[in-house]
């Protein structure tokens, strides 16, 4: 494709066509700024009267669903490595969504024995162990407590793990990064239930266990339980989806997803962690010296460009908006920078929304693509001052076998023909 | 006089907070010990939670052949569900991917017992008897050369099995 010269009057914020993030927020600025002239009206047929304009339309559904023309907006990109269909994951199609709230049906899910079909009238939550009174709660009982709603991101501790591989994966933004989602969760503070049970001061951890066939089990520090752990009953205003824990799941805002046990049936107060399979054999990071770090609780700041993405071929030179998501388990995103030249020069992106604590932030920046090769990257900074590392820096620290918490910068290479590929830059 | 006043004020404050606690919603019902036992299946590294029962690797071989071999392979190697044995000495070798198995990586034998107890066999979790659980655990430990074929595994002996990677973990700190 021939390179398109950029209009000379444009002010660039960084090399290779990145424009000022506020370009279209200033009054009077429009696409004309980019050199688009008003087009002469062409001689053409009158605008058509389509069938839906000229006859009564169809019935309304009791529970609406996306248009049949949106049938490709579905989860995928995961799959089972072992051949057991229930031991799998399914990822969020980040390239086909925008904003920050993930539709409940598109929230990613990691499953250890499929999706249980739980009758909420038969589901019970047991709180026991080092407590004065072991208690059992039905779903109906939990619904009677004061409820709280919070917008929290949820990322699998193994999201993007393929970025530790020697060669860049071409699975697309969904396949590489799709185990990140964000919802408004509504539920009961676990601390309130723990206080009702009367926690023994000796209890420093809880064990959380699911009602699924695999009885997923993780240990959680009591400090986190009493600070902000939530038993979520609702996701984006409706009951939690089956693959995300119906009728109730644990939410530990900012912590790795695996700890936030779905289909929660049991909370046991304990003096120490039980060292369960998923906090020893799995979800531990093995460093070059052979030692493994355990209880890698927090999700560090991370960002990824979701548009453009390998799944979305470019449509020729000209104006594009680069957009993506950023999040931090330590708080909130205060800055996202974007590079179009593989990290040599950076321009600040515009952050949408208030950037609330432990939620996702959408960033956007205008880009005038000249049709030449470009390497797009995004780099997040959170309110603790932590800056998202390069892949090289992360691998230098952890080595290639760490598996988890892969929060390194991603590079999308744009070829002149419009193909977008994943590269290490 | 002053201290009396403080004491009265403190008493009032305590009474007030008790009254507030009384008004907090309490919709949980007290669980009886008999109700809890069927779900109380976790095991701690010191052996707390291990049930009665016992077995040796020799009896475990038969249970394994019947319920585990299809997914985990003969002698715990080569099945579709990942290896249970081997891999010792592969951690921290430059340029080599660690081979993580029960023998090479898991820090506690109790964790393995608890995992089998809650999640295995895949097609029928929570179906093994306590003796079968000790038997399978003993067999996998023996496959890894950690106990002998006739060593009895029970609530007292299992927590004492020293796993090779017991000291291979440290708590994560920010920056790791």
What percent of chain B has a predicted confidence (pLDDT) above 70? 88
Q: Is A146 on the interface with B (CB under 8 A)?
A: yes
Confidence at residue B6, expressed as pLDDT on a 0 to 100 scale? 47
Q: Is B9 on the interface with A (CB under 8 A)?
A: no
- Give the tens place of pLDDT for each residue, B81-127: 989 999 999 999 998 999 999 999 999 999 999 999 999 999 999 99
Considering the domain boundaries, does residue B11 fall inside one? no
Q: Is B95 on the interface with A (CB under 8 A)?
A: no
Judgement on whether residues A263 and A325 belong to the same structural domain of the protein: no
What percent of chain A has a predicted confidence (pLDDT) above 90? 88
Q: Is A401 on the interface with B (CB under 8 A)?
A: yes
Q: If pLDDT is split at 50, 70 and 90, which confidence band does B2 have? A: very low
Residue from A145, A197, A290 whose CB has the most chain B CBs within 10 Å, to mutate? A290
| Pairing of β B29-30 and β B169-171 | unpaired
Judgement on whether residues A273 and A354 belong to the same structural domain of the protein: no
**Chain A hits for B174, Cβ within 8 Å:** 298
Indicate the number of domains in chain B. 1
Q: Which of A225, A258, A293 is the last residue of a domain?
A: A293
Neighbouring C-beta atoms of residue B152, cutoff 10 Å = 15
Considering the domain boundaries, does residue B20 fall inside one? no
- Give the tens place of pLDDT for each residue, A285-302: 999 999 999 999 999 999
Judgement on whether residues A323 and A306 belong to the same structural domain of the protein: yes
Q: Which of A241, A271, A293 is the last residue of a domain?
A: A293
- Give the tens place of pLDDT for each residue, A54-112: 999 999 999 999 999 999 999 998 877 777 888 999 999 999 999 999 999 999 999 99
Judgement on whether residues A314 and A374 belong to the same structural domain of the protein: yes
Structure token digits, residue B160:
């004492």
Judgement on whether residues A249 and A334 belong to the same structural domain of the protein: no
Considering the domain boundaries, does residue B151 fall inside one? yes
Judgement on whether residues A331 and A404 belong to the same structural domain of the protein: yes
Look at residue A217 and tell me whether its pLDDT is greater than 50.
yes
| Pairing of β B169-171 and β A292-294 | parallel
Q: If pLDDT is split at 50, 70 and 90, which confidence band does A24 have? A: confident
Look at residue A333 and tell me whether its pLDDT is greater than 60.
yes
* A113: closest chain B residue by CA: B122
Confidence at residue A26, expressed as pLDDT on a 0 to 100 scale? 65
Structure token digits, residue B138:
């003993």
Q: Is B36 on the interface with A (CB under 8 A)?
A: yes
Structure token digits, residue A291:
């030692």
| Residue ranges of B 42-71 with Cβ closer than 8 A to chain A | 42-45, 49, 71
Q: Is the peptide bond before A281 cis (omega within 30 degrees of 0)?
A: no
Q: If pLDDT is split at 50, 70 and 90, which confidence band does A11 have? A: confident
Considering the domain boundaries, does residue A187 fall inside one? yes
Considering the domain boundaries, does residue A109 fall inside one? yes
DSSP string, A178-239: -SEEEEEEEEEEHHHHHHHH-B-TT--EEEEEESSTT--EEEEEHHHHHHH-EEEEEETTEE
* A124: closest chain B residue by CA: B28
Considering the domain boundaries, does residue A46 fall inside one? no
Between A41 and B44, the higher pLDDT residue = B44
Look at residue A128 and tell me whether its pLDDT is greater than 60.
yes
Host domain of residue A120:
105-293
Considering the domain boundaries, does residue A336 fall inside one? yes
Cβ contact, residue pair A274, B25, below 8 Å: no
Confidence at residue B1, expressed as pLDDT on a 0 to 100 scale? 41
Taking residues A322-345, what's their average pLDDT? 98
Q: Which of A266, A293, A320 is the last residue of a domain?
A: A293
Q: If pLDDT is split at 50, 70 and 90, which confidence band does B26 have? A: very high
Considering the domain boundaries, does residue B54 fall inside one? yes
Look at residue A379 and tell me whether its pLDDT is greater than 50.
yes
Judgement on whether residues A328 and A281 belong to the same structural domain of the protein: no
Considering the domain boundaries, does residue B140 fall inside one? yes
Greatest alpha-carbon pair distance for chain A in Å reads 83
Considering the domain boundaries, does residue A331 fall inside one? yes
Structure token digits, residue A350:
């515009």
Cβ contact, residue pair A209, B42, below 8 Å: yes
Considering the domain boundaries, does residue B4 fall inside one? no
Judgement on whether residues A288 and A380 belong to the same structural domain of the protein: no
Judgement on whether residues A330 and A349 belong to the same structural domain of the protein: yes
Confidence at residue B14, expressed as pLDDT on a 0 to 100 scale? 47
Look at residue A272 and tell me whether its pLDDT is greater than 50.
yes
Considering the domain boundaries, does residue B111 fall inside one? yes
**Cβ neighbours of residue A282 under 8 Å, at least 6 residues apart?**
A258
Cβ contact, residue pair A133, B30, below 8 Å: yes
Beta strand spans in chain B (E): 29-30, 54-55, 153-154, 169-171
Lowest mean pLDDT among A28-42, A325-339, A397-411: A28-42
Indicate the number of domains in chain A. 2
The CATH number of the domain holding residue A398 is 2.60.40.650
- Give the tens place of pLDDT for each residue, A130-164: 999 999 999 999 999 999 999 999 999 999 999 99
The CATH number of the domain holding residue A185 is 3.90.420.10
Look at residue A424 and tell me whether its pLDDT is greater than 50.
yes
Across-strand partners of A255?
Answer: A298
- Give the tens place of pLDDT for each residue, B61-80: 999 999 999 999 999 999 99
Confidence at residue B10, expressed as pLDDT on a 0 to 100 scale? 47
Considering the domain boundaries, does residue B165 fall inside one? no
Q: If pLDDT is split at 50, 70 and 90, which confidence band does A3 have? A: low
| Mean pLDDT, chain A, integer | 94
Taking residues A352-370, what's their average pLDDT? 92
Taking residues A178-203, what's their average pLDDT? 98
Judgement on whether residues A179 and A272 belong to the same structural domain of the protein: yes
Judgement on whether residues A226 and A319 belong to the same structural domain of the protein: no
**Chain A hits for B171, Cβ within 8 Å:** 293-295
Look at residue A37 and tell me whether its pLDDT is greater than 80.
no
Give ∠ CA A365-A307-A149 in degrees, rounded to 5: 85
Q: If pLDDT is split at 50, 70 and 90, which confidence band does A35 have? A: low
Q: If pLDDT is split at 50, 70 and 90, which confidence band does B24 have? A: confident
Taking residues B31-36, what's their average pLDDT? 95
Nearest to B107 among A135, A275, A296 (CB): A275
Considering the domain boundaries, does residue A94 fall inside one? no
Judgement on whether residues A220 and A339 belong to the same structural domain of the protein: no
The CATH number of the domain holding residue B146 is 1.10.760.10
What percent of chain B has a predicted confidence (pLDDT) above 90? 84
Host domain of residue B80:
33-160
Considering the domain boundaries, does residue A25 fall inside one? no
């Amino acid at each position: 494709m021939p390179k398109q010269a950029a209009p000379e009057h444009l002010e660039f914020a960084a090399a290779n066509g990145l424009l000022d993030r506020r370009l279209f927020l200033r009054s009077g600025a429009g696409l004309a700024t980019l050199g688009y002239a008003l087009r002469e009206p062409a001689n053409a047929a009158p605008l058509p009267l389509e069938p839906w304009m000229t006859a009564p339309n169809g019935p309304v559904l009791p529970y609406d669903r996306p248009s049949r023309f949106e049938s490709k907006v579905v989860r995928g990109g995961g799959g089972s490595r072992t051949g057991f269909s229930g031991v799998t994951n399914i990822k969020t199609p980040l390239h086909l969504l925008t904003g920050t709230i993930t539709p409940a049906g598109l929230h990613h899910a990691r499953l250890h024995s499929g999706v249980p079909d739980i009758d909420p009238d038969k589901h019970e939550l047991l709180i026991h162990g080092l407590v004065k009174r072991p208690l059992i709660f039905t779903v109906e009982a939990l619904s009677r407590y004061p409820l709280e709603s919070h917008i929290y991101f949820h990322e699998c501790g193994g999201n993007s793990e393929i970025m530790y591989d020697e060669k860049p994966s071409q699975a697309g933004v969904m396949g590489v990064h799709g185990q990140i989602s964000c919802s408004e969760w509504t539920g009961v503070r676990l601390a309130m239930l723990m206080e009702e049970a009367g926690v023994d001061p000796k209890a420093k951890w809880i064990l959380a266990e699911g009602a699924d066939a695999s009885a997923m089990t993780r240990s959680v520090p009591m400090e986190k339980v009493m600070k902000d752990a939530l038993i979520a009953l609702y996701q984006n205003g409706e009951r939690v989806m089956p693959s995300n824990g119906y009728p109730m799941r644990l939410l530990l805002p900012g912590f790795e997803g695996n700890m936030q046990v779905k289909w929660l049936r049991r909370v046991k107060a304990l003096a120490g962690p039980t060292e369960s399979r998923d906090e020893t054999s799995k979800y531990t990071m093995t460093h070059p010296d052979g030692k493994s770090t355990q209880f890698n609780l927090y999700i560090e700041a991370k960002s990824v460009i979701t548009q453009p993405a390998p799944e979305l071929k470019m449509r020729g030179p000209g104006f594009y908006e680069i957009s993506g998501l950023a999040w931090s388990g330590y708080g909130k995103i205060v800055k996202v920078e974007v590079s179009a030249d593989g990290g040599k020069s950076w321009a600040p992106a515009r952050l949408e929304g208030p950037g609330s604590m432990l939620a996702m932030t959408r960033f956007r920046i205008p880009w005038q693509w000249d049709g030449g090769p470009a390497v797009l990257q995004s780099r997040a900074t959170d309110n603790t001052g932590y800056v998202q590392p390069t892949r090289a820096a992360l691998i230098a620290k952890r080595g290639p076998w760490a598996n988890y918490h892969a929060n390194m910068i991603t590079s999308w290479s744009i070829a002149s023909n419009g193909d977008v590929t994943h590269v290490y830059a | 006089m002053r201290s009396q006043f403080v004491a009265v004020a403190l008493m009032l404050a305590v009474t007030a907070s008790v009254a507030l606690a009384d008004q907090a919603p309490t919709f949980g019902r007290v669980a009886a010990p008999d109700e809890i036992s069927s779900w109380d299946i976790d095991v701690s590294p010191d052996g707390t939670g291990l049930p009665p029962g016992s077995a040796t690797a020799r009896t475990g071989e038969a249970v394994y052949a019947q319920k585990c071999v299809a997914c985990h392979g003969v002698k715990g190697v080569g099945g579709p569900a990942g290896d249970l044995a081997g891999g010792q000495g592969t951690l921290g070798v430059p340029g080599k991917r660690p081979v993580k198995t029960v023998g090479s990586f898991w820090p506690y034998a109790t964790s393995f017992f608890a995992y089998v107890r809650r999640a295995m066999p895949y097609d029928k979790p929570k179906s093994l008897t306590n003796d079968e659980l000790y038997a399978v655990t003993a067999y996998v430990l023996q496959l890894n050369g950690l106990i002998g074929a006739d060593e009895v595994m029970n609530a007292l002996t299992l927590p004492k099995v020293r796993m090779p990677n017991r000291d291979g973990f440290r708590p994560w700190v920010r920056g790791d």
